[in-house]
Structure 1
Amino acid sequence: MTDVTIARALRAGTSALALVLGMTATAAFASDAPATAAASSDADGTGIAEGSNIEVTATRPNTLAPVTASLQATQPQSIVSRSFIEDSLPATADFNQIALISPSVSISGNANGSGLSESKAQIRGFQDGEFNITYDGVPFGDTNDPSHHSNTFFPSNTIETLVVDRGPGNASQLGQATFGGNMNLFSRATRDDAGIEVKGTYGSWNTYLLRALAQSGAIDRLGGTEVVLSAQHVASDGARTYSPFHSNNVFGKVAIPIGPDAKLTLLATYNENSFNQPDNDGVTLSQVAQYGKYFSLNDDPGSQNYYKYNHTHKTTDFELVKFEANIAPGSTFENRAYTYSYDNETLSGNDPTLYATATPAQIAAANVVTLTPGGKAVAGVPGYTKTNKYRVFGDIAKARLDFGFGSLTAGTWIEWSNTYRQQRDVNLLTGAPNYVEKAVTDPDTGAATPRNIKFDQHSHTNQAEEFVELELRPLPGLTITPGYKHVDFTRQIDADYNQTTRYAQQLSSTYSADLPFATVNYAVTKQVAVYAQYARGFLAPPLSVLYVANPQLSTVAPERSTNYQAGVVYHGRSLSFDADVYKIDFSNKFASFTSTVPGEGTVFINQGAVQYKGVEGQITYAFPMGIAVFANGSRNYAKTDNPGVIRQQVAKAPEWTAAGGVLVKSGPVRFSLIDKWVGKQFFVSPTGSTVAGNAYDSPVYQSPGYNTAILSARYEIGPFQIGGEIENLFNSKRVTSITTGKTAPFDQYFYQTGRAFTADVTMRF
């Protein structure tokens, strides 16, 4: 590769690891292979995997498909392009809704409308927090466990490409939950050409979005530096009662070439969300009967559901400095230094299920507060304040050396975080302290805990991962990559009043793992590749294992997984498809119990195993004139695997998924009709019984499945594009999730929001 080619690749925003070391399966047939689109800088946005290190053959079906896979894949994957995000989804969609089009992906939540409340994704039955989500290669998530907030960090205007990897990846795939898969987000790409895009949308529930994006193009006097800037504002009344939502986001990225062989990228984004919602969300069946499926809050100041008593303000930021360089022929170095933060400030009623569910006597008994320590309870509205804020710092460094018939990649990831969390009881009528908690004294000092404090806690994490991969290319088109990763992870608590125990504690726990990996990819022809993967996975216990009086009694170890999967990818002129089979053995499932020995309290252990296995596939056929049809689906088995008990599908793990539709990209016309089905699932966990006949088996806690169809159409007139979507075209209002309450009447339900309309106008110049 010449210096000129390298310089062009760097200006295009393509990772040096993808292009400079592009000795891939497709490259083995470079003389007659189809053109590839790894990270195109074309201003029309037709690149398939822009901003990522993934190469996808730019055949006609791949440029039209909502999801596709790379011929270089070493595990099942679904690549979602920016054009699909722009043409077929509401502009307010969060990253889980973008990923939903993929096989084996399902989501729950989003009960206030697309992107107007949080959603949770599941991949093959693995729940949020059991798989990684990354942004430009940086894993992110909460610090008490690696769960995620779908509409808080990265709205759709910050995402160029999304890749769902249904597997733990190679050793170089980093994150705390490297066993349930990876959802990889890639930031908006810079372009060679300057341009401005302004977008406005308006739709159901008085929802509007304003967005602007500006591309500087290559600035010659700055050596070809490229800049992209974006800003977005969203406001809505929300699908549910008294549940308005407001959001602001700004995003900026600068790509600076440093000579012909290096590039520096600076990225920053800031997001602010403000909304009214109970902290303990969901609607009971009694509330549904009286007020409908979309009841949430009201305008009654004497109720814990009063909208002014239930308010959350969240701010986040994410900053990244990435340096890439070709340090010698066939050798590269990359470093990513980053920081991100999250700040959640919440005011909430104690129990939003009481309204219209409990009897007047029960409500009166619950709506009392204690205004002086040890005093008598008086009428009031009990609630609490909540803070959850953290700052994370990290660095990822990797180097790759190519030696002709193979290459060696080695690197390290270090990260640390500081977190502050608190909850305090208040009288929502006045904001005064509510001294309602049980009397607790510190066993060491005898100091009494203030009875309005649930907890007040600082915590920290420190982790390091070192990895190495040896990529061997013994034959043309054949790549064999064994790898190894070592993980060290430490949690620490320094609490004035620890959660659950409510007295001062300083605790820590360290976990380690050695994880082998091996992948094979073989390009059978220039259009067909097969792959296989073996990998071990690891998930550290959550912070809650340190919310105990006697942590030395807990024997909990990290959850482990062993993954086996294999698949095939085909890219033809009119047809593109891939399919795979997988088997995952998951052990050391976290569990806890209350000791019968006085004073021992809660003890955490590992108890149970789950076996995941299934088959997945996706296919697209392209007709002339820019018309394509596609389908994908999965059959997913995720059952407990414990001796002596009935094997049962785990909670919130659909037994199957399916999607299909038609897409048109022809001249000024953009049209799509897409439907996604989520199959049968259970909303409560198996009890481990040796016989049937428990809540798990009740039809109340089972879903036969549900679907969501989106009709989208757009037309370009000069610099303008007009269009819109009808989301949930068939007006499905089925249950998507149930959270069990203290008794069945207090169970909380989440429903599809029904048919919604959006119209939009986009101007580009």
Structure 2
Amino acid sequence: MSTSTRPQRLLLGVSMLALSILSSAAYAETPPALAPADEAAPDQKPKTDLAEGSDIVVTATRANEIAPVTASLQTTQPQSIISRSFIEDSLPATSDFNQIALIGPSVSGYGNANGPGLSESKAQIRGFQDGEYNVTYDGVPFGDTNDPTHHSNTFFPSNTIETLIVDRGPGNASQLGQATFGGNINLFSRATREDASIEAKATYGSFNTWMLRGVAQSGAIDKLGGTEIVLSGQHIGSDGARTYSPFRSNNVFGKVMIPIGPDAKLTILATYNENTFNQPDKDGATLSQIAQFGKYFSLNNDPNSQTYYGYNHTHKTTDFELVKFEANIAPNSIFENRAYTYSYDNETLSGNDVTLFATASAADIAKANVYTPVNGVATTAPGVPGYTKTNKYRMFGDIAKTRIDFGFGAITAGAWIEWSNTYRQQRDVNLVTGAPNYVEKKVIDPVSGLATPQNIKFDQNSHTNHTEEFVELELRPIAGLKITPGFKHVDFNRQIDALYNQTTRIPQKLSNTYSANLPFATINYAVNDRLAVYAQYARGFLAPSLGVLYVAKPSLSTVEPERSTNYQAGVVYHGGNLSIDADVYKIDFTNKFASINAPVASDGVIWINQGSVQYKGIEGQVTYALPHGLAVFANGSRNYAKTNNDGSPNLQVANAPEWTAAAGILYKSGPIRFSLIDKYTGRQWFTDPSSITNANAGTTLPVYNSYRSNGYNSAILSARYDIGPVRVGFEINNLLDSRRVTNINTGKTTPFDQYFYQTGRSFTGDITLTF
């Protein structure tokens, strides 16, 4: 694919026109005055709260007031702080947290193929994939139990998020998570307010997408000692951008902040989410399907095919509960404890292989319309093969931290304990009748001699036990200088207790434990109230996934955890009208996981460490505040994420754009809110170069390059106008109607590859009533 200058010229023209219109329409009065920088630099004062891995207080300047992304002067690693005002004013209300994070440099993504927030998406940070970085909610890491991947629209829709921070690095020792490796996306829950209010919002837009949302703030309740409560409810309904792919979602959220005397408070939070949608379990359209039905083909209305919408549906429910206690236990001493639980339940019915019509051959059609009705008997009958899937788990955890400030420094120490229980199963069925389909290969348990029923892919319980202990020593030898060495110890245990284990399909009880000692060191020097420089050294750790135990003889595997060593340095400047930060980084990633056939064929598959990747690059973001509430911003990155293995070519890994860029204008004054923002994702590949063993690999290099995208952009135009207590607005998502490929899932052969494209231009109108 080739890029064109036409979209950029069009966007520049729209930007200049909008600037002209807004400049002439600006109100005569200036925005409310902000305190001078030397008086409004709370993020330069010594920390009085516990380390979270990010600081969300920034210097109050005109630029930071309107900037879509900024960084704290206290940061010790590159970061992008994204505020509620940007989420509310500049993004579709249905956006998931990955679309919010996408505005930051070095953040790329794919998914959302059904429309913003109407299907899951994946984000990458500097080329690190989902599962190689943490996502946290109010400091609690969350993710799946088979590996630490995430469901972007399942737990925390945008109405539950006050602020989002992308930390481009492993963080410090107190940054907790199973994937303290490639970075962190930190979500912070909706804040309670001192003043009471009620907000009702309704939206309607493309794909017959509508949303109703309500948010109620109790304000400080004097009779309850100043207790504050926020409640929110939301419903989304849509036909979806793809064929026969409706989506429904319900969310409720509640948070209570209870002061306990002058030195302590208790926060109780809970949210529940339910999604129902029609989509194949292994989604995506083949080139053959695209040629017949277009780029947005997903399902059809033919009950004789595996792509029939009635045979492909999913119901997901999640909940998340948190109780946080914070107290000043002595002068300059703070204690905090967070106890939490969360659950995920995915119940899916899906066609067995929705790519079978990729070639439209008679053999494919015949194969797609038969099933095996009798266990152990190789007879077939007319039917449509598919499967049921259950994946449900519950996590329990507790995080305790304490911080003692002793004048010229402070010490923070704490521990995290977490455990989980998971149940997963898949069973083959005839989708027409729901009867068992005995299509799996015959397998005999070597211990009992019993045969596994041939309709069962797997039936498995699993558990994790995870503990982390950490300590940080912040030293302040001179004014403005903070040097913070830290140390973290990790123990991570996985267990399987399977009636029929995945892949092997025999009863197995297995366990693996991994440990790591991780040193950290950061430095931040405040040159003055507006300028700070920082540097970081950090070690990262990622345990192998549950799939390492899906083997007949796990003792033959030699796989060790993946490791990263991170070096980075940067500068942050907050002037009166200018906010700017930039950084450079280098990350060495070793022990990449790989599965191979065992030397003895009868031993099956084993897991080993094979290969490494080097990440390095430069990043920056800038906002400049013009008069009358206008601001312009830009950010970008140049990202190198290439294999670093002896005897193999130096090639960019999959889903790792070589660069990203974003730019736009924003206006916020009086009753008007306006933004025009464009994000460009640069050249990337959709397959790893792992099959290429040397620079002269010949025909394999053209295959690798056939999965290349030369880049694509997505612009969002958003406008709001207040009329008393009523705010009306609209968004145009993907303003320039770019429809390029964003990801390719490789199949067993090229005809079975599945493609995903940008959703075309879409429109949303909304009305918000506040009182």
**Mapped contact 2:409–2:474 kept (Cα < 8 A):** yes
Letter in 1 for 2:758: Q
**Mapped contact 1:424–1:455 kept (Cα < 8 A):** yes
The change in CA–CA distance for 1:473 and 1:51 in structure 2 (over 3 A counts) is closer
Corresponding residue for residue 761 of structure 1: 767
Residue 636 (structure 1) aligned with residue 649 (structure 2)? no
Alignment of 1:333-412 (within 5 A): 333-355=335-357, 357-375=359-377, 376-412=379-415
Residue 717 (structure 1) aligned with residue 723 (structure 2)? yes
Q: Distance in 1 between matches of 2:563 and 2:311?
A: 42
SS at match of 1:583: strand
**Mapped contact 1:684–1:696 kept (Cα < 8 A):** no
The change in CA–CA distance for 1:51 and 1:488 in structure 2 (over 3 A counts) is closer
From 728, 744, 755, the equivalent of 1:749 is: 755
Q: Distance in 2 between matches of 1:353 and 1:758?
A: 33
Alignment of 1:186-197 (within 5 A): 186-197=188-199
Q: Distance in 2 between matches of 1:581 and 1:52?
A: 19
SS at match of 2:298: coil
SS at match of 1:643: coil
Q: Summarize deviations over 1:648-668 as a string: whole Å, max 9, x none.
A: 100110000000000000100
The change in CA–CA distance for 1:31 and 1:92 in structure 2 (over 3 A counts) is closer
Q: Distance in 2 between matches of 1:165 and 1:51?
A: 8
1:30 deviates by 11
Residue 585 (structure 1) aligned with residue 585 (structure 2)? no
Corresponding residue for residue 551 of structure 1: 554
Letter in 2 for 1:461: T
Alignment of 1:311-322 (within 5 A): 311-322=313-324
Corresponding residue for residue 730 of structure 1: 736
For the aligned residue pairs, the C-alpha RMSD in angstroms reads 1.6
SS at match of 2:354: coil
**Mapped contact 1:37–1:58 kept (Cα < 8 A):** no
**Mapped contact 2:37–2:59 kept (Cα < 8 A):** no
1:182 deviates by 0.3
The change in CA–CA distance for 1:696 and 1:506 in structure 2 (over 3 A counts) is farther
Alignment of 1:187-586 (within 5 A): 187-355=189-357, 357-375=359-377, 376-586=379-589
The change in CA–CA distance for 1:540 and 1:52 in structure 2 (over 3 A counts) is closer
TM-score normalised by the chain length of structure 2 = 0.93
Q: Distance in 2 between matches of 1:260 and 1:635?
A: 49
Alignment of 1:91-240 (within 5 A): 91-240=93-242
Q: Distance in 1 between matches of 2:699 and 2:191?
A: 52
From 686, 689, 693, the equivalent of 2:693 is: 689
SS at match of 2:548: helix
**Mapped contact 1:126–1:180 kept (Cα < 8 A):** yes
1:614 deviates by 0.1
Q: Summarize deviations over 1:25-53 as a string: whole Å, max 9, x none.
A: xxxx9993325489xxxxxxxxxxx9975
**Mapped contact 2:376–2:442 kept (Cα < 8 A):** no
**Mapped contact 1:495–1:504 kept (Cα < 8 A):** yes
SS at match of 1:61: helix
**Mapped contact 1:205–1:237 kept (Cα < 8 A):** yes
Letter in 1 for 2:488: K
Q: Summarize deviations over 1:490-522 as a string: whole Å, max 9, x none.
A: 000000000000010000000000000000000
**Mapped contact 1:576–1:619 kept (Cα < 8 A):** yes
Corresponding residue for residue 67 of structure 2: 65
1:374 deviates by 2.5
1:279 deviates by 0.3
Letter in 2 for 1:479: K
Gaps of 5+ in 1: 1-28, 39-49
1:379 deviates by 1.5
Letter in 1 for 2:272: Y
Gaps of 5+ in 2: 1-34, 45-51
**Mapped contact 1:684–1:695 kept (Cα < 8 A):** no
The change in CA–CA distance for 1:30 and 1:405 in structure 2 (over 3 A counts) is farther
**Mapped contact 1:290–1:356 kept (Cα < 8 A):** no
1:373 deviates by 1.1
Letter in 1 for 2:681: V
**Mapped contact 1:52–1:161 kept (Cα < 8 A):** no
Q: Distance in 1 between matches of 2:56 and 2:84?
A: 14
Q: Distance in 2 between matches of 1:57 and 1:374?
A: 70
Residues 192-201 or 738-747, more deviating: 738-747
Q: Distance in 2 between matches of 1:412 and 1:83?
A: 34
1:446 deviates by 0.4
SS at match of 1:437: coil
Q: Distance in 2 between matches of 1:696 and 1:223?
A: 68
Letter in 2 for 1:753: T
Q: Summarize deviations over 1:96-127 as a string: whole Å, max 9, x none.
A: 00000000000111100000000000000000
Letter in 2 for 1:689: T
Q: Distance in 1 between matches of 2:624 and 2:698?
A: 46
Letter in 2 for 1:464: T
SS at match of 1:651: coil
Q: Distance in 2 between matches of 1:54 and 1:663?
A: 21
Q: Summarize deviations over 1:702-741 as a string: whole Å, max 9, x none.
A: 0000000000001000000001100000000000000111
TM-score normalised by the chain length of structure 1 = 0.94
1:314 deviates by 0.1
SS at match of 2:742: strand
1:378 deviates by 1.4
The change in CA–CA distance for 1:522 and 1:30 in structure 2 (over 3 A counts) is farther
SS at match of 1:253: strand
Corresponding residue for residue 20 of structure 2: none
SS at match of 1:286: helix
**Mapped contact 1:394–1:414 kept (Cα < 8 A):** yes
Corresponding residue for residue 11 of structure 1: none
Residues 184-193 or 357-366, more deviating: 357-366
Q: Summarize deviations over 1:277-325 as a string: whole Å, max 9, x none.
A: 0001001111111110000000000000000000000000000000000
Corresponding residue for residue 621 of structure 2: 618
Letter in 1 for 2:185: M
SS at match of 1:355: helix
Corresponding residue for residue 598 of structure 1: 601
Corresponding residue for residue 29 of structure 2: none
Residues 386-395 or 285-294, more deviating: 285-294
Letter in 2 for 1:666: S
Corresponding residue for residue 82 of structure 2: 80
Corresponding residue for residue 647 of structure 1: 650
Q: Distance in 2 between matches of 1:374 and 1:137?
A: 51
1:360 deviates by 2.8
The change in CA–CA distance for 1:646 and 1:405 in structure 2 (over 3 A counts) is same
1:624 deviates by 1.2
Q: Distance in 1 between matches of 2:612 and 2:53?
A: 38
